[in-house]
Structure 1
Amino acid sequence: MKRIIRYVQMVLFMVIIVHHHGFSQKSGIEQSPNDLNSVFRTLQNQLEISKKNPGQPKKIVQSHLKLGEYYHSLGLYSEAMEQYNKALDQLGTDLNDTLFITLNNNIGKVYLSLNNFELAEQHFTETLNVSKGIKNDRGLAVSLGLLGASHEKQGEYGEALKDQKESLLLFQKMGDQHGMAMTNENIGSIYEDLEQFDLAYQYFNKAYQYLEGKETVEEVNVLNNLGDSFRKTGNYTAALEKTSMALEVAKRLNDLHQLESAHKDLSKTFAFLGDFESAHTHLLLAEEFNSAMLRAQNTDQLNVLQTIYETNKKEAEIQLLKEQNKVSRANQNLLWVALFAIAAILTILYNYLGRKRKAKLKIQEYKQRMLKAELEKKAIEEKNLQQEVQLKTSSLSRYSLHLSQKNKILLDLANTLRNVAARKNMDTSEKIKALVKEIDFNLQQEQEWDEFMTFFKEIHPEFIKKLSTLSDNHLSPAELRLGMLLRLNLSSKEIASILRVTPDSVRVARHRLRKKLPIDQKDELVNFMIDL
């Protein structure tokens, strides 16, 4: 699910790249303020030129569309919606035009970015119906993919799979390899959310076959997803290979988001391998790239807003000069024009300052999230320390119990032998036989088990109760003893020694106990007892 918003932004950004040759060929490359100003002014100039030809309304629609897509790619949703609505107003009632399909889907994407799923799906559904009406397979495929993305974000995986698979069939029909790649990746993401990692890997791999060697953000994203699939199935070597490939492509693209994702995934994989030093190093790098990405995003937004403000200010000043040249009849009219210009500037300045304040709040929220993550990390470390203390306490109790049993038997045996040695002219054979009987008798006593039960209940107070309730069949005292010894992680040989039976008998007893408990065939009986 983490890739849906990225998918929507990626689609928008790729559309902008197709429309404007002045853009960077790699969407991950950061643009300087001058580049941003250049792009904005180019789009603004195209809009002004198209407005001078009212006889060609579609060019005006396309100019508004491009400017809206540019705003959307920077996260300026209100400005994007304004441009899209202006384009729809210019388009009029011609709902069967392919431009309407693009515009309506783009409006739905804005609502999807804002998690307003109801309005987003209204626009996607409307576009889907229009596409069916004019038999526009591409519009239909894109609308189905966006509907699937909305369902996935809401956890409606059945509907999401249905929409994405219908979209995939349409892209296959058109022979659109990019569309097939993106849709296969979307389906893989859904199966990953469902923890069906084998199916997720199949679809991610299909997507990668179309994207391999393209040196695009999409290729990096699929490689990261393949690495996730291997990591979640325990194949850490393959996970490291795929994620490292993703990192190298992301470095060449200089895409901050993908660099952060790759380092974060490498951190997780190294942690599973027990290489915590490497895991910590990659985690720090991920945090650095995330901070850089947020700073770049905020800077881009502020630069564009500043450019919008300056452009509007200049337009207001130019308009004022024109009015001064045109209107010479009355000073009163000139005053009204000046007041209007000042009011416009103040409004723009107010909006600019408001957005700057929001950007500052976002940075503060990010710092709070980082602090929360650090606290959660410390809580996990404290919990692990407590578990380690409990384990040592358990080991000490087990050792004390065995020592107590051994010492008691040896003490009784020593006392008896002293008595035999002190008496002269005594039939030692009979006495030894009696001693053997006494040893056998002591070995059959249950007092040591009572002490064992006392120690065990102090360390694991809920274990016996949980074990008894898990079985539909009544567990015998011997089976409960076996369960407790397994909970202490003793081997069959050690258990046989304590219970005074053969290891084969212990294996039979373990098999019978396993049958009475709800254990998956792949799970170990010892692990099941330890997890109780």
Structure 2
Amino acid sequence: MLIKTAILSAVCSAQTAVPDFSAKEINDHISTNFPRPDSLLLVLKEHYNTARQNDDEVKAAGYLHKMGAVLFASGHYPQAMDYLLKADKVFRSRNQKKLLAENLDVLGELYFRSRQNDLARKQYDEALTHYQNLKSESGKAGIYGRIGHLYEKRQRYDSAFYFQRKALQAYQQVDQKEGAAKIYENIGSIYEDQERYDSAYFYFNKAYVLNKQQGNERAQIEVLNNLGDVLRKTGRYREGLNFSKQAFALAEKTGEHYQLSGACNDIGKGYNFLNKNDSAFYYLSLSRAYLSDIYSAENNKQLALLQTLYEIEKKDNEIEKLLHARKTDTLIAIATIVVIVLIILIASLIISRQRLKIRNEQKLHAQNKQVYQTQNQLMEAELKNKRLEEENLKQELEIKTKELTSYTLHVIRKNQLLENLQGQLEALVKEEKRDQKKQIKQLSEQISEGLNDDQHWEEFRGIFEQVHQSFFDRLQQQSDSLTSNDLRLIALIKMNLTSQDISTLLGVSQDSLRVMRHRLRKKLNLPQGENLSTYIQSI
């Protein structure tokens, strides 16, 4: 079941309302339906503290589970793992099978994203066992789909088909059309991986029909993009372009910037195949603009979430100190009563001594309180300085990113101009008289030298290192046999440029670029099936 934006907004505005959505739903939709995960985290933390104060261990673990899902969806895996494992321990001890299965589902996805496939499969298998015992068809269907996706990434397509079809059967048994639509999309993706485009188109279309019936516009956008991609791969460029434009219109209606960027990129590809380069360049530029907006927004979210995590940790420490102080006060009160009884029993001299002791303890307590207040003020001042430093770093990063993008676009335009000019000169060589051919040929050779000019590489590398700090150092640790040309190719892949843009920047053909990528894979010792771009983005 999809979360509605109104529900999520209500959670933020009403601090006393208990969120009733599942962590799996948070994981699936927080990136698009909930713009402020830090606010959601604060609400969940408040309810968690309330549950602890009421000694409701299961409810507290439920909020740990939800907080873990929020952090996982936001990319903070270590903190997410900590919350999920704490919830796992409570659910097991209290024999909460359904909650345990949901928690294992999220844990499995976390391990999968961390490339720990064996651990991911272990969580999925245990969750599947619990769902089978609970006779939950929708729960089983979700796990089957995830296991199928796991096999797809391993390129074990027979197993992937098997589990996706079991998922589809389970969803159909409970008439859950949205789940069935997702499985149709997964099956289409497997066929697309196998380059069986007719079958891929068939299943993508079935997914689109179901999503349209359910009014799920976000899912329609994804499937429309897939349909357009399949048609482009089969040479049906105009039909594919129509699907991409439909996806763009829906994304513009719903304000989905990720989908807008993807749709613009697909439209640009379609126009490029149709040799409408002006339109292709316009939509590719628009795609990059949306990506830039997304990058800035994601940075703001991550900074806010990190600040929230810091404040939560600070409050937890303060609570622990208060609890410790309360225990200390209780012990002091008990000791005082005992002392009074002893004073009554033994003599007035003991009374005077005990009074002196109490006054000394009160003075010490006051001194400790003053020290604590001073430390708190220092911590607030330090936090303020940290915020200023983070803001400055953010501004510098945005400036450098714009410089890098501007520099790259400048080089692309320069190389495209030189390529066009070189082609015209070569045509003149074939047509003009012999006494002019030598001069024209010299001009063409000079243009070739301009296409391969390395004079701006160091300047580009300097700006790139400022945006992606220590990237090349980490890369050299992976392989020490990389040449400057290899590093240049890797930097352009890291910037998510298309193959067409990369070949233009490097002044090589698409075939030469494929050879360069193949050689680079060997130098990086990448196993067969692992995507080069995904690997470079993970460094």
Q: Do the aligned residues in 1 keep the contact of 2:30 with 2:37 (CA within 8 Å)?
A: no
- Once the two structures are superposed, what CA deviation does each residue of 1:40-59 show, in whole Å capped at 9, x if it has no partner? 222112212222333x4332
- Could you say which residue in structure 1 is the equivalent of 2:453? none
Identical positions, percent: 27
Q: Does 1:179 align with 2:179?
A: yes
> Which residue matches 1:236?
237
Q: For the aligned residues, what is the CA RMSD?
A: 4.5
Is contact 1:259–1:289 with CA below 8 Å preserved after alignment?
Answer: yes
The answer to whether the 8 A contact 2:31-2:74 is kept is: no
Query: Structure 1 residues 269 and 96, CA, compared in 2 at 3 Å: closer, same or farther?
Result: same
Q: Distance in 2 between matches of 1:368 and 1:107?
A: 40
Q: TM-score, normalised by structure 1?
A: 0.60
Q: Structure 1, residues 208-228: CA drift from partner, whole Å, max 9, x if none?
A: 111116253212111111111
User: Is residue 96–residue 134 contact of structure 1 (8 Å, CA) maintained in 2?
Assistant: no
SS in 2 for 1:212: helix
Equivalent residues of 1:267, 1:278 under 8 A apart: yes
* C-alpha distance in structure 1 between counterparts of 2:397 and 2:149, whole Å: 25
Partner Cα separation in structure 2 for residue 219 and residue 369 of structure 1: 34
Q: Map 1:403-482 to 2 at 5 A.
A: none
Given residue 209 of structure 2, which amino acid in structure 1 is its aligned partner? Q
- 1:299 equivalent in structure 2: 300
Report what 1:269 is aligned to.
270
CA–CA separation in structure 2 for the residues paired with 1:386 and 1:195: 38
Aligned position for 2:484: none
| TM-score normalized by the length of structure 2 | 0.59
Question: Where does the alignment leave 5 or more consecutive residues of structure 2 unmatched?
Answer: 14-25, 333-360, 435-539
The corresponding residue for 1:167 is 167
**Rounded Cα–Cα distance in structure 2 between residues aligned with 1:365 and 1:146:** 39
Taking the TM superposition and a 5 Å limit, the aligned residue runs for 1:481-492 are: none
Residue by residue over 1:388-435, the C-alpha shift from the partner in whole angstroms, topping out at 9 and shown as x without a partner, is: 699969978xxx9xxxxxxxxxxxxxxxxxxxxxxxxxxxxxxxxxxx
Q: Aligned pair in 2 of structure 1 residues 221, 236: CA closer, same or farther (>3 Å)?
A: same
> How many Å separate the matches in 1 of 2:201 and 2:217?
20
Distance 1:199 1:379 in 2: 42
User: Conserved in 2, the CA contact under 8 Å of 1:267 and 1:280?
Assistant: yes
Shift of 1:362: 10
- The residue type paired with residue 158 of structure 1 is D
Check 1:244–1:322 CA distance in 2 against 1; reply closer, same or farther (3 A cut).
Answer: same
The verdict on how the C-alpha distance between 1:362 and 1:258 changes in structure 2, with shifts beyond 3 A counting, is farther
Q: Residue 218 of structure 2 aligns with which residue?
A: 217
Q: Is 2:115 the counterpart of 1:115?
A: yes
What displacement does 1:39 show? 2.0
Amino acid aligned to 1:248: A
- Please tell me whether residue 310 in structure 1 is matched to residue 327 in structure 2: no
2:74 partner amino acid: L
| Structure 1: segments with no counterpart, 5+ residues | 1-10, 401-532
Give 1:102 deviation, angstroms: 0.8
Equivalent residue number for residue 208 of structure 2:
208
Counterpart for residue 77 of structure 1: 77
Structure 1 residue aligned with 2:261: 260
Q: Which gives a bigger RCO, structure 1 or 2 (Cα 8 Å, sep 6+)? A: 1
- Counterpart position of 1:459: none
Contact 1:29–1:254 (8 Å) recurs in 2 = no
Alpha-carbon separation, structure 2, partners of 1:373 and 1:158: 43
Structure 1 residue 289: Cα displacement? 1.2
Match of 1:52 in 2: 53
| Equivalent position SS for 1:92 | helix
In the aligned structure 2, how far is the partner of 1:375 from the partner of 1:115? 38
- Return the offset for 1:109: 0.9
CA distance in 2, matches of 1:161, 1:394: 57
Mapped partners of 2:274, 2:249: distance in 1: 21
Q: Say how many residue pairs are matched.
A: 381
**Alpha-carbon deviation of 1:383?**
12
Structure 1 residue 79: Cα displacement: 1.8
Q: Hey, what's the Cα distance between the residues in 2 that align with 1:286 and 1:63?
A: 38
Residue 334 and residue 143 in structure 1: after superposition, are their counterparts in 2 closer, same or farther (change >3 A)?
farther
The answer to whether the Cα contact below 8 Å between 1:217 and 1:250 also exists between their aligned partners in 2 is yes
| CA–CA distance in structure 1, aligned partners of residues 7 and 109 of structure 2 | 18
Mapped to 1, the partners of 2:413 and 2:74 lie a distance apart of 36
Equivalent residue of 1:75, what SS?
coil
Q: Which residue of 2 aligns with 1:407?
A: none
Instruction: Tell me, in whole angstroms, the C-alpha distance in 2 between the residues paired with 1:215 and 1:141.
Output: 19
